[in-house]
Amino acid sequence: MPILIAVALLVGCRAKGKWSEIDQLREELAASREQIETLSAERDEARAKLVEAERVRLSTGDLSSEAAAALPRVVAIKIDRLSGLTDSHPDDGRPYDAIEVYLKPSDGRERFVQIVGSVSVRADLVPPVGSKQAPATISSATYDAGQLREAYRSTILSTHYTLRMPIETMPALDIADSNIALSVEFLDALTGQVHRAERVLSVARPIGSRE
The structural domains of the chain, with segments of one domain joined by +, span 2-68, 73-202
| CA–CA dist 57, 50 (Å, integer) | 10
Annotate 85-145 with DSSP letters as a single string.
EE-S-TTSS-S--EEEEEEEEE-TTS-B----EEEEEEEEEEPPTT-SSPPEEEEEEEE-H
**Res. 140: pLDDT tops 70:** yes
Annotate 34-78 with DSSP letters as a single string.
HHHHHHHHHHHHHHHHHHHHHHHHHTT--S-HHHHHHS----EEE
Using DSSP bridges, classify how beta strands 84-86 and 98-106 pair: parallel, antiparallel or unpaired: antiparallel
Question: pLDDT tens digit string along 79-129?
Answer: 998 898 887 766 666 667 889 999 999 988 889 999 999 999 999 988 877
pLDDT at 31 (0 to 100)? 66
pLDDT at 8 (0 to 100)? 37
Cβ neighbourhood burial of 140 (10 Å; 0-12, 13-18, 19+)? middle
pLDDT at 153 (0 to 100)? 94
Choose the CATH number for 73-202 among 3.50.50.60, 3.40.50.10470, 2.60.60.20, 2.60.40.1940: 2.60.40.1940
Residues 6 or more apart whose CB falls under 8 angstroms from that of 187 comprise 117, 118, 119, 193, 194
pLDDT at 7 (0 to 100)? 39
* Mean pLDDT across 150-171: 88
Helix (H, G, I), strand (E, B) or coil at 174: coil
**111 vs 132, which has greater pLDDT?**
111
